[in-house]
Structure 1
Amino acid sequence: MQLKLTEILGRFNVMHNNQALTIKRLKELTASLESGNTRQPSPNVTIPTGCVKIRSFFGDKYLAVSSNYDSQRRQLGLQNNPEEWTLTRHVGNYYRITRRQGQEDLYAAMDDLARDSQRRRIFTWIPGFGEDQGKWEIEEAAGFPGTVHIRSGYFGEYLYAADFDNLVFTWIPKGTPGKDTQYLWQIEQC
C-alpha cells in the first residue's frame, strides 16, 4: 500500500510540475500576443536540417529514446538531456528524422503496436529504415512563433507530448491541433 501511495504522489508531482511549466509558457505566449510580437504563418518558413534537437513546448523537454521496446524498436519519450537527430528534407516536402546515434529512423507504428484506440506509439527502427512510415511533415504552428507541428506523412496524425509519464504519441483521431500546446515543438540546430 505504501508503494502505491508513493507512486501516486510521484505521478501527481510530475503532473503538477508539467502544469506549472505549461502555465508559465502560456503566460509568456499571451504577453507576446498582446504586445503584437507575432508573425503570420509563412509557406517560406525555414526548418533547420542536419543535426537538430527537438524540444516539446508543452513539456519543455527534448524528444529522446527512452527504452528498448523489443530487439528492433526503441520507444520515445521526453527527457531533460537532448538527443541529437538528423533532419533531412526529401522530395514532396517530407522530412526524415533519424537518431544520430545508431542511424535509427523515427516512425509511427502500425495499429497492432498502438497504445490504445487514440494514441499511436512512436519508435526508432534499430535496423535502419527508409519506408513510408518514417516520413514526417513539419509546418509552422500559426500564432506560436518559433514552433512547429510535426505530422506523420503516412498516417496524417500529429505528434504530441502526453501529459503523463513524459511519453510521446501521435493522435489517431486526427483533426488539427489548433492552439493545444501538447502539439507544439521547437527544432533547434545542434
Structure 2
Amino acid sequence: MAILSHSFTHLYGSEKNRLKRFIARIVGNNTTADDLVHDAFSKLIDASGKQQIREPSAYLTRAARNLALNHLRHIQQGVEITVDEQVYHAMADRKASPEMELLYRQELRRLLTALAGLPQRRREIFIIHRFEGASYSEIADRFQLSRRTVINHVFNALDDLDLALGPDFLQFP
C-alpha cells in the first residue's frame, strides 16, 4: 500500500531534521546527511509501493542508519571521496558570475555584429561550415562553387572576423 501524499508530506516534515541529525552524527558531514535523508525517504516510497509499512518512522531510521554505514564503508573502500564541508562551500561554483555572463553576452554581440558585416555569400558559407558542420565539398555542391572557392570564403571570413574583433576577443582576466 503506497503512502498517501499528504501523509508523506507530514512524515517528511516531522522526520527530516531528526534523521539529518542522526545521520550527521554517523557520517560527520551535514551535506552528506542531507543527501542520505533524501535517499532514505526514496527507499520508503519504493518500499511502500510493494508492501505495507506499519512504522514508517522506524523504517526511515533503519534505512538512514544503513545508508550512513554504507556510505562510510564506501569511503573506506575508496568508492566515495569525501570533501570537508568547509572545502565544499569554498569551492568555486561552475556557473558563471553575473559579471562574466555580461562579458560573454557583450562578446557574443560583438561576434554577431562582425558576422553581419561580412559579405552575404562569405557569411553564409562560414556559418554553414563552422556552425552547421558542413564540409567544404558539401558547401561547394550546395552553392555550385569549387571546393577551393569555398575554402577561400571560409579563410577570408576568419581574416575579416579577426580584424573586426581584434586580438582581445574573448580574452578575459
Structure possessing the higher relative contact order (Cα contacts under 8 Å, 6 or more residues apart): 1
Indicate the structure with greater strand content: 1
More helix by share: 2
Q: TM-score range by the shorter chain?
A: under 0.3
TM-score (norm 1): 0.18
